[in-house]
Amino acid sequence: MGDGSAIGDGSAFEELVARAVACGDPEHPVWEDVARTLGWRSEDDETWIAAVALRSHPDPVHRLLAFDVLFWHTTTRYVPEDGSWVPSPYEQRAYEVFAEWAGTETHPRVLPKVLIGLTQYSEPANEAVGLRFARHPDPEVRGVVPGLLDRWEPFSPAAREALCALSRDPSVEVRRSAVVTVAEHPDPHPDLAAALVERFGDEDESVRVMAVFGLAERDDPRCVAGRERMAPIADRERYGYGVLDAADRYEARRDGRGDGWRWRRA
């Protein structure tokens, strides 16, 4: 939680912002305390307006702080009292800010953060944003795109094409992001399965693992060949429960044995 220098001390908005900007590091405890404090306070319209205004500040450090404040605003303010899971008004108004901000932000440190903010919401409008940035020159930006394209329904043709392209990206981080999104999604389209097969020889172990996993969850028999090509996994704890044995479970389902449970929804 940090050293408590900002929490609950009643300091003015401008003073707290100055404290965070002075340290200049989003990982610093003072920065985190300021962002959390202002995020909580932003239920108040005056603080909210001031926080939103920071996104237009010429200094990108101020804009990074604006993101963190708005992010805390959404995560700390949703406390339903009636047991419902209807999105809170605090979440919705922060989404609207992120969506507008994504259309104007260009700084390489700030833009990926803003896009990450959008991925916290299952909004149909995210797809258009993701497609807009799918060929962005910055790999950190491209790496967020699969999260923007993710959805409960099958992917649209444009999103599917973008995900397949991102799974072949020169950046391993981008490929990993795309393959994880495809692997964990139930969309059975053959182009997505083919994109996973292409990654059997990827230089990155986690990409190879998730490609096999995604095919196994689709009951695609090619997952067995992918598993057989896999070198021994040294750090098995790196992967979540049910990932590394996905091809084994596929074989159990195929052979009618009773231990072939699925990791995800059908």
DSSP string, 217-231: HTT-THHHHHHHHPP
Q: Is the pLDDT of residue 6 over 60?
A: no
pLDDT score at 84: 62
Q: Binning pLDDT at 50, 70 and 90, where does residue 264 land? A: low
Mean pLDDT of 49-67: 96
Specify the amino acid at residue 156.
Answer: S
pLDDT for 115-141, tens place per residue? Answer: 999 998 889 999 999 999 999 999 999
pLDDT score at 9: 55
Choice between 184 and 81, residue whose per-residue pLDDT is larger: 184
Q: What is the dihedral of CA 212, 213, 217, 221, to 10 degrees?
A: 20
pLDDT for 17-55, tens place per residue? Answer: 999 999 999 999 999 999 999 988 888 889 999 999 999
Helices (DSSP H) in the chain: which residue ranges?
Answer: 13-23, 29-41, 45-53, 60-77, 89-102, 111-119, 126-133, 139-142, 145-149, 157-166, 172-183, 190-198, 205-217, 222-229, 246-255
Cβ atoms of 76 and 91 within 8 Å: the answer is: no
- Return the top range by mean pLDDT from 87-96, 144-153, 232-241: 144-153
- The residue behind tokens 């916290």 is 120
pLDDT for 221-242, tens place per residue? Answer: 999 999 999 988 988 889 988 9
Q: pTM of the full predicted structure?
A: 0.88
The span from the CA of 41 to the CA of 175, in Å, is: 39
Choice between 246 and 94, residue whose per-residue pLDDT is larger: 246
Q: Is the pLDDT of residue 265 over 50?
A: no
The span from the CA of 170 to the CA of 142, in Å, is: 11
